[in-house]
Amino acid sequence: MLQEFELSRGEVDSIVMAAQDVVDGRSLADQLSVSAAGGYRKKAVRVCNDGAYGLVVGCLEILSGQSDIVLVTAWSKCSEGNMNIVTNLQFDPFYLRPVGFNEINSLALQAARYAEKYGVTDYDAARISIRNFSNGQLNPHAQRKIEPNEETILKAKVLSSPLKESDVCTYTDGACSILLASDQTASKLTDQVVRIYGFGWSTDSYYPGDRDLSEIPSLQRAASQAYKASGLAPAKIDVIENCGRSNYHEMMLLEELGFCEKGRANDLISKGTTSLDGRLPTNPSGGIMVSNPYVASGLVRTAEIALQVSGSAEERQVNGAKIGLAHGTSGPFMQSNCVVIMGA
């Protein structure tokens, strides 16, 4: 990537890394990766949240005047261990961890609450999986292929009711890097500058009993911050890449991001609004259902939006996409959320 802009590692002012020790299977995982990321004898910061938070930290480095060029990189090698065990470690060690809570069954509990509250069915959710897997066939970086038809989706193995294998993201290996620069420097490096108009982040209560699991208020707050900072409204967004951990969660995300009222996301999907040729194309890449390097996934979403608004997304390109929204998440029950709005 640095070669594309004719930059040496010495010209990068600081490095932001997003990774988790428990995923890499060793403590201080960044110490073995900092040199590869270009951080040798250089200011380096690591965040343990989703890679989208790494992007925000990089932006703050530049906005504060601490750096002019920042390299943000994120990775996860999920094949190193058992991700059910890894995700179990994020839960309370006295009450939730001993009964076997992990990401899959916690997401199922949340999906069931949402489905019960708004009358969402398996058939409704299946439309999202079909769209994501169809889009994924256009993405050369997709790591998971499922035949995108109703029969395949609905007959998939149940993992934790109501979620089936075809309803949720999988865990994959992968990495992503993004180069950030001040406006003046970026304009010197390339004629095709992608600008970050606004971002926001927020966190909900850690304990699920303190929340209505049919809602994700931290995402609503993060989106409000991003819209306010950018001066843009949801109606101005041309394309979305989100980290919906399941098809049910993608409905919740559309609502919390302000694209429809609570419980009405299914209407958007049934009308084809979120399809590749719809008014609001969602996950043209296939999203994390087709490739989910866990901690890096949010940074991948921002990279996908950068490709979209610059007209560089190849077969998955959305016609006329000029402003896009990327989303990253981390924590139990999608506790923490980050929103980034970008444009060409």
User: Of all residues in the chain, what percent carry a pLDDT higher than 90?
Assistant: 84
Q: In angstroms, how far is CA 183 from the centroid of its own chain?
A: 25
286: alpha, beta or left? (left if phi > 0; alpha if psi -120 to 50): left
Q: Which residues contact 286 (CB under 8 A, 6 or more apart)?
A: 132, 133, 134, 135, 136, 137, 138, 139, 142
Domain 3-81+174-190, second-level architecture: 3-Layer(aba) Sandwich (3.40)
**3-class SS at 228?**
helix
Q: Where are the domains of the chain?
A: 3-81+174-190, 109-156+196-343
Tell me the residue type at 100.
Answer: G
Distance CA 71, CA 5 (A): 12
For domain 109-156+196-343, which CATH number applies: 3.40.47.10, 2.60.34.10, 3.40.640.10, 3.20.20.450?
Answer: 3.40.47.10
Q: Given this model, what pLDDT does residue 40 score?
A: 57
Distance CA 82, CA 75 (A): 17
Pairing label, strands 195-203, 336-343? antiparallel
Question: Are the C-beta atoms of 11 and 69 separated by less than 8 Å?
Answer: yes
Q: Given this model, what pLDDT does residue 41 score?
A: 59
CA distances from 165 to 30, 33, 86, 295 (A): 32, 32, 19, 20
Question: Are the C-beta atoms of 290 and 142 separated by less than 8 Å?
Answer: yes
3-81+174-190 against 109-156+196-343: fold identical: yes
Place of tokens 């002019």: 68
Q: Given this model, what pLDDT does residue 80 score?
A: 86
Strands laid side by side in the 195-203 sheet = 195-203, 336-343, 323-330, 239-241
Q: Given this model, what pLDDT does residue 9 score?
A: 81
Question: Are the C-beta atoms of 307 and 87 separated by less than 8 Å?
Answer: no
**3-class SS at 212?**
coil
pLDDT in tens, 193-248: 999 999 999 999 999 999 999 999 999 999 999 999 999 999 999 999 999 999 99
Q: Given this model, what pLDDT does residue 5 score?
A: 81
pLDDT in tens, 71-109: 999 999 999 889 999 999 999 999 999 999 999 999 999
- 2 has a pLDDT exceeding 80: no
- Average pLDDT of 268-291? 97
- 24 has a pLDDT exceeding 90: no
Is the preceding peptide bond at 162 cis, omega within 30 degrees of 0?
Answer: yes
Q: Given this model, what pLDDT does residue 6 score?
A: 81
